[in-house]
Structure 1
Amino acid sequence: MAYPRWRHMLIESQRHALKAMDEWNCSGGNFSDFLTHMHKAWLYLLHAEFHMAGTDYHYETETGESRMIDGESKAWELRQCLKERFDESDNPVRLNVELFVALRNKVEHRYEHSLKVVTGGKCQALVINYEQELVAHFGMSHSLADQLRFPITLQSLTAEGQAQQQAAAAKLPKSTRDLVAKFEADIDPAVLDHPKYDYRVRLMPIVGKKTDADLAINFVNLDELTEDERTVMTEARRTGAVISKFKYRDVVDKGKMLPKQVACEVEAQVPFEFHVQPEHTEMWRRLGVRPATKAANPYDTVDKYCVYSEVFSTYVYTDAWVAKIIREIGTVEKYRAFFGKEPRRKKLSALKQQVVAPEPMPQDQDVMGKIA
């Protein structure tokens, strides 16, 4: 059976990703080759996404014709793909990849090891983000997790090795250090600390009796720790970075909304009525955020706005979808332009409830606390 074109792009993307990780894990690996292969892996992955979604990812001339180079249409480079895939300029995944786009042409071969040391956590985030993007759009059957192993390492697991790494980092040329510093200067500290931008791991040997269920690497979810345990983990010195696999937890409906909830959220923020039928249904159809009911491939959604819940055989929506609806039709003029009709004004009683919602009296708060 012949593969569609996007599948060939995806296979090439996966090939480059595996080559990149081989370069990283090999003792004689080349860091610049790691950057090159991850650059191509991300580029082909996003091209595959655009192609499967029917999005034209080629540049056009002023007359609307395809811009040609050597007889072929010029496709978007990675930086442009990132802008199209991630709307927010402060998205940690986008910023992480953009940093390595900037570093790719800056690598000096004699300083490769130093750069690899100081960007270790960011490189790990680059790979984990790639895997998550791959699985989110093409399913677990395309995951690379079963082809990778935790690398055996010496240097980063001893105090002496850590000192050698710090010494190597100190040798990095000023021009390269300045590039990273300038890139991060205007980024929110919360984004800089986000694991999707810089993935850091603290490795601690396990002592005690081993069970058959134990693996060499165990994962701790900060959300499952007590406050005291979380404080110890988060306040520990921010040193050391270890390459590790990421453990997925599938929570399809967390933070998601059904259509009726979406309609209520939107109506609360606009001056007119907004219902599931016909407004919400017409919007997801025209904006192409999900396929039609009983479509052959129900998973073909724009996951930023909508995902398919396999358990409940329905579609659920995100906060980003509510925000997009309001951007598209949030005023009377925008509503009229989108739907070609006048919106139905809210009833006066509904407006009063929104604007003049009474605050509970102190005694009411006590009663509510007792009931809770």
Structure 2
Amino acid sequence: MGRYNQVDLAYEFLSQKEKSGESFTITELAVATGWKQKTCGTYPSKRWHQYVHKDGSHFLTSGIQFLSKEEFRSVHSQKLQQVSDQSTKGMLLHKAREFALLAVSTYNNPYTEFKTYGYIVNIIIAYTALFHAIFEKQGVGYFHLKDNGDPILIDGEEKAWELMECCNRYWEGVEKPEKYNLKFLIGLRNKIEHRSLPAIDMAVAGECQAALSNFENLVVSEFGDEHALCTNLAIAMQLTRVSEQAQLDAMKQLQKENYKVVRHYMETYKTDLEDSIVESQQYRIRALLVPKLGNHAKSSDLTVEFINVNKLTEEERKNYEQGIAFIKGIENPYKLKPSKVMGLVKEKIPGFNMPLHTKCWKYFSARPQDDKVDFKGDYAAFVEGFDGYLYTNKWVIFLITELKKADVIAKVKKAI
């Protein structure tokens, strides 16, 4: 009998049960594969635990049918292989994966209030362990040394490089978006360590997701597909919309005094970075969640797909851009506070100030003079939560265009 004969029989048995929506017993598995019942009893909770779960006295599968036979063989054997690697490299790699999964678990837990801080702490530990495992593999010393070459000891243990030092050594002389993503998260952790700031979650979700994606790519590139996190992870459940009220509440929280230090860090960190880095998906992931329509109710294709824009044809890219334009078109356009409008217009019209802005919205009838909670116009709308009027980018463009005309700005200034 070949090495994988019984494993392949298990794969066919489990796949068929999943496709038909049927549960199974250990006895049925033993009959189908030829394994002893005692042997079969250990596999669901150990080797196959991410795909098989117990339902009373029976078992159900989820995801087996999306694995190839070769992938199932790898899943069946990889757990024992990983556990048996007791080398320093193996233990560091195991630690890295465990803390990465813990970071995701913390972030995706709906009962966790301080998601970002919990995620960053764990992902930093994960990355640090991963880099140490890489240096172990490469035979590179990753400990701090005294001037005489002796190791620096902390509580009797050699002091290893921190994540920032690991980044600088691994990407020495290379300007990588992945490096600046991690440096941003390290700095953010230091800023929020002694502050309770849950409102930043929505503001840095893209950087957090990019860090996880980069971690996965780094693990696979250095140690192979068998160490990828994807066999342990599912796509996090997403709400189909984030309420305007929730966005406004987060914006208002970020403007409070206790957010001042963190807000300043977030606003200034990117100013010294090249546009190519800031716009990279490795620095910050920007994603649009789009419902996918299937041709058939029982279609077995994936419901979520990640698309590499660089691999699209010109026609596909054009359709992609049209899709983005459509989604942007249905976003809430009322986002600009009066002070923001003033700042944007002032860049093009020197001398523009808040009193002149007030004259403008009155002169052009951009909004009512009193508060009308149901008002929504082309240029402004009353937004509950903000309890005032917010403006559109269209209003900014309109003002810049009109106020460049000498006769128009003269009339506006004379208006009451």
2:85–2:91: 8 Å Cα contact kept in structure 1? no
Q: TM-score, normalised by structure 2?
A: 0.53
Instruction: Look up the match of 1:86.
Output: 171
Counterpart residue identity of residue 295, structure 2: K
Deviation at 1:127, TM superposition (A): 0.4
Instruction: Look up the match of 2:319.
Output: 229
Deviation at 1:71, TM superposition (A): 1.6
Instruction: Look up the match of 2:187.
Output: 102
| Structure 2 unmatched ranges of 5 or more | 1-83, 332-416
2:155 corresponds to 1:70: yes
Q: Secondary structure of the equivalent of 1:144?
A: coil
Instruction: Look up the match of 2:108.
Output: 25
| Structure 1 unmatched ranges of 5 or more | 241-372
Do the aligned partners of residues 144 and 239 (structure 1) sit closer, same or farther apart at CA in structure 2, a change above 3 Å counting? farther
How far apart, in 2, do the equivalents of 1:177 and 1:89 lie? Answer: 28
Identity within the alignment, %: 25
Listed as ranges, the matches of 1:332-347 within 5 Å are none
Q: TM-score, normalised by structure 1?
A: 0.59
Q: Secondary structure of the equivalent of 1:146?
A: coil
Instruction: Look up the match of 2:300.
Output: 213
Deviation at 1:28, TM superposition (A): 1.4
Greater Cα shift, 174-183 or 44-53: 174-183
Q: Secondary structure of the equivalent of 1:207?
A: coil
Larger Rg: 2
Counterpart residue identity of residue 202, structure 1: L
Instruction: Look up the match of 1:347.
Output: none
Instruction: Look up the match of 1:59.
Output: 144
2:292–2:304: 8 Å Cα contact kept in structure 1? no
Instruction: Look up the match of 2:225.
Output: 140
Instruction: Look up the match of 2:34.
Output: none
* CA offsets 1:244-286 (integer angstroms, 9 cap, x no match): xxxxxxxxxxxxxxxxxxxxxxxxxxxxxxxxxxxxxxxxxxx
1:89–1:95: 8 Å Cα contact kept in structure 2? no
2:96 corresponds to 1:13: yes
Do the aligned partners of residues 4 and 178 (structure 1) sit closer, same or farther apart at CA in structure 2, a change above 3 Å counting? same
Do the aligned partners of residues 189 and 166 (structure 1) sit closer, same or farther apart at CA in structure 2, a change above 3 Å counting? farther
Instruction: Look up the match of 2:211.
Output: 126
Greater Cα shift, 228-237 or 60-69: 228-237
How far apart, in 2, do the equivalents of 1:21 and 1:238 lie? Answer: 32
Do the aligned partners of residues 110 and 3 (structure 1) sit closer, same or farther apart at CA in structure 2, a change above 3 Å counting? closer
Runs (4 or more) in structure 1 with deviation over 6 Å come to none
Of residues 190, 196, 214, the one that matches 2:282 is 196
Counterpart residue identity of residue 176, structure 1: V
Instruction: Look up the match of 2:356.
Output: none
How far apart, in 2, do the equivalents of 1:115 and 1:8 lie? Answer: 34
Deviation at 1:206, TM superposition (A): 2.5
Which protein has greater RCO, CA pairs closer than 8 Å, 6+ apart?
Answer: 1
Deviation at 1:218, TM superposition (A): 2.6
Deviation at 1:177, TM superposition (A): 1.4
Do the aligned partners of residues 206 and 109 (structure 1) sit closer, same or farther apart at CA in structure 2, a change above 3 Å counting? farther
